[in-house]
């Protein structure tokens, strides 16, 4: 398995990680617990050592699942989790807004350590920037956790360039986790140049466009009300039909490279920077193997130019999030 270092840190991880959210949250009914434990352990056997979760996934249940699966092989894995949402103590709502007050960050860290069954959190991200708390205070709180030996590395998610820069002055940011793929390329404008300047790692989530870039959906696809995608403008029948051109692009390259659209989408991402580690999620072993196959696909400079040329002619339709969720990003 190819390894990559995230930024200037000594945090070395597999070139592909595994996003664990969908195992218990967001994409319909939670998958079978024992099957997901088997999947995560199979991923480790196949060379993946980088696993992503968050307290809000469930809430709590995904961290518990990851902890149960990986605690017996703790010395072989890197576990990332996140803080920053205000959770409803009654459980009626998934979250009630944001909360990154320093005292809350420390409480979340202690609770996550227990659920994950670890002594230290390898990478602790602020899930979304909280406008009520200066980022310097957030970075300072995580720095105290690092000094206390409870956290190893500090990360941000969906943060704006200025916020990343300000945080980095207080406590070096090891990685930024934000959405990035062929159908969401906003990070290329300001974020990726800044990450290169400051030597911060980039961990793209939804690298397969929540399954769309893998060719799994078309305009006839429907989503259950428990599936997060049912709320996303980009997953309406009209948007799915309009954006099929992106899948066609990937399918054409896949034929040339004897791969699949998902593998081409991941190979394209991996080619964008050596400082970048995508975290595709899955609940199926066959999909895990397919994703790992992306590491065997070599896209030449000519291939990348061909993809770029074709993609430039496609105007992606539909917002990626409803307005209230998009408003929580890039700030």
Cite the active site residues: 57
Three-state DSSP string of the chain: CCEEECCCCCCEEECCCEECHHHCCCECCCCCHHHHHHHHHHHHHCCCCEEECCCCCCCCHHHHHHHHHHHHHHHHCEEEEEECECCCCCCCCCCCCECCCHHHHHHHHHHHHHHHCCCCEEEEEECCCCCCCCHHHHHHHHHHHHHCCCEEEEEEECCCHHHHHHHHHHCCEEEEEEECECCECHHHCCHHHHHHHHCCEEEEECCCHHHHHHCCCCCCCCCCCCEHHHHCHHHCHHHHHHCHHHHHHHHHHHHHHCCCHHHHHHHHHHCCCCCECCCCECCCHHHHHHHHHHHHCCCCHHHHHHHHHHHHCCCCCCCCCCHHHHCCCCC
Taking a C-beta distance cutoff of 8 angstroms, is the pair 260, 293 a contact?
yes
- Beta bridge partners, 160, equal none
302 Cβ contact partners less than 8 Å away, ≥ 6 residues apart: none
Q: Kindly tell me the burial class for residue 199, based on how many C-beta atoms sit within 10 Å of its own C-beta (0-12, 13-18, 19 or more).
A: middle
Which single residue is written with the structure tokens 């929580």? 328
How many alpha carbons fall within 13 Å on the CB side of residue 135? 25
Backbone phi, then psi, for 295, in 5-degree steps?
-70, -15
């Amino acid at each position: 398995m190819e390894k990559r270092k995230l930024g200037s840190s000594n945090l070395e991880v597999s070139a592909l990680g595994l996003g664990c959210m969908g195992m218990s949250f967001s994409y319909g009914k939670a998958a079978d617990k024992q099957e997901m434990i088997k999947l995560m352990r199979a991923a480790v056997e196949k060379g993946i050592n980088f696993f992503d979760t968050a307290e809000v996934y469930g809430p709590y249940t995904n961290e518990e699942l990851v902890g149960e699966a990986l605690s017996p092989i703790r010395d072989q894995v890197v576990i990332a989790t996140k803080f920053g949402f205000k959770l409803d103590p009654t459980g009626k709502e998934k979250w009630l807004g944001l909360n990154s007050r320093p005292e809350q960050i420390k409480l979340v860290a202690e609770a996550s350590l227990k659920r994950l069954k670890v002594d230290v959190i390898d990478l602790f991200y602020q899930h979304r920037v909280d406008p009520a708390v200066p980022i310097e205070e957030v970075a300072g709180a995580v720095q105290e956790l690092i000094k206390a030996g409870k956290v190893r590395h500090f990360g941000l998610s969906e943060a704006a360039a200025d916020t990343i820069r300000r945080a980095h002055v207080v406590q070096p940011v090891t990685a930024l986790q934000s959405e990035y793929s062929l159908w969401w390329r906003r990070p290329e404008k300001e974020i990726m140049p800044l990450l290169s300047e400051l030597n911060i790692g980039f961990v793209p989530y939804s690298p397969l466009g929540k399954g769309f870039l893998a060719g799994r959906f078309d305009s006839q696809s429907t989503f259950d009300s428990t599936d997060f995608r049912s709320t996303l403008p980009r997953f309406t029948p009209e948007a799915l039909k309009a954006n099929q051109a992106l899948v066609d692009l990937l399918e054409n390259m896949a034929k040339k490279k004897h791969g699949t659209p998902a593998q081409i989408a991941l190979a394209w991402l991996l080619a964008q920077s050596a400082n970048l580690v995508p975290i595709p999620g899955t609940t199926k072993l066959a999909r895990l193997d397919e994703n790992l196959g992306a590491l065997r696909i070599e896209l030449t400079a000519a291939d990348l130019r061909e993809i770029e040329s074709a993609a430039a002619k496609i105007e992606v339709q539909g917002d990626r999030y409803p307005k209230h969720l998009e408003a929580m990003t890039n700030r």
